[in-house]
């Protein structure tokens, strides 16, 4: 079993690591703001990519929702689903598209149950992906708020 797979099966620890990193970045925010987010992005992006690729097989969508999806990357789902499993999951819990792989969402749901803090966020409705953020640092996008920006119509939908 790879290091990444081993870590992913300890979601409660990952959740704490997420919270720690989150706070760290918030602390660093004034620094990043002073040096300019574009420069900060160049600095942060590659270690972020390296680390998240290793642990989560990250696809660098630039709008990370790992803590809301059982610390399991939804972009590793061949259909890129962000709101839960499709109806094609096999009886053994494996993926419709890649029979040798367990369904990303079967794992996400299992792991979310072991996450006391963010586990229930798996029930949140996730907005459509902003494809322009592909390849950028999700941490910097979080600090600038660009990852949370949704199309104007989508906002109106949440009040409908």
Partner 1 sequence: MSENREGFLAGSRLERVLRSGRFAVTAELNPPDSADPQEVYDAALVLSQVCDAINATDASGAHCHMSSVAICALLTRAGYEPVYQVSCRDRNRIAIQGDLLGAAAMGVRNVLCLTGDDVTAGDQPEAKRVFDFDSIQLLRTARIMRDRGVFLSGRKLTTPPRFFLGAASNPFVPPYDWRPLRLAKKVEAGANFIQTQYCFDIARFREFMRRVRDLGLHEKVYILVGVGPLRSEKAAEFMRTKVPGVHIPDAIVERLRKTPKPRKREEGKRICIEIIQQVREIEGVAGIHVMAYRQEELVAEIVEEAGLLPRPLRVGAADERRREHPRKWPRR
How many residues bind partner 1, per CB under 8 A?
37
Strand partners, 102: 94
Q: Which of 55, 25, 15 is nearest to 139 (CA)?
A: 25
Which range touches partner 1 (CB under 8 A), out of 8-16, 40-48, 89-97, 135-143? 89-97
Q: Which of 130, 124, 160, 135 is nearest to 147 (CA)?
A: 130
Q: Is 156 in the site for partner 1 (CB under 8 A)?
A: yes
Q: What phi-psi label fits residue 25: left (phi over 0), alpha (psi between -120 and 50 degrees) or beta?
A: alpha
Which range touches partner 1 (CB under 8 A), out of 7-15, 42-50, 51-59, 97-105? 97-105
C-alpha to C-alpha distance for 144 and 32, rounded to whole angstroms: 10
Which range touches partner 1 (CB under 8 A), out of 23-31, 44-52, 56-64, 105-113? 105-113
Q: What letter would DSSP give residue 125?
A: P
Greatest CA separation found in the chain? 53
C-alpha to C-alpha distance for 38 and 76, rounded to whole angstroms: 27
Which range touches partner 1 (CB under 8 A), out of 11-19, 20-28, 53-61, 93-101? 93-101
Residue closer to partner 1 by CB (options 5, 123) is 123
Q: Minimal distance in Å, beta carbon 101 to partner 1?
A: 13
Residue closer to partner 1 by CB (options 3, 156) is 156
Q: Which residues bind partner 1 (CB under 8 A)?
A: 78-93, 96-97, 103, 105-106, 109-110, 123, 125-129, 131, 151-154, 156-157, 160
């Amino acid at each position: 079993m790879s290091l990444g797979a081993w870590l992913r099966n300890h979601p409660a620890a990952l959740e704490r690591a997420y919270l720690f990193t989150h706070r760290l970045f918030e602390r660093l925010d004034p620094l990043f703001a002073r040096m300019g987010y574009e420069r900060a992005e160049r600095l942060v992006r590659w270690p972020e990519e390296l680390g998240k690729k290793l642990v989560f097989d990250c696809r660098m969508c630039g709008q990370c929702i790992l803590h809301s999806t059982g610390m399991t990357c939804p972009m590793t789902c061949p259909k890129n689903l962000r709101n839960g499993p499709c109806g094609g999951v096999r009886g053994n819990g494996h993926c419709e598209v890649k029979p040798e792989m367990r369904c990303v969402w079967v794992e996400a749901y299992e792991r979310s149950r072991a996450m006391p803090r963010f586990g229930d966020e798996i029930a949140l409705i996730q907005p459509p992906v902003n494809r322009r953020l592909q390849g950028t640092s999700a941490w910097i996008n979080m600090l600038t708020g660009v990852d949370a920006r949704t199309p104007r119509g989508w906002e109106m939908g949440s009040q409908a």
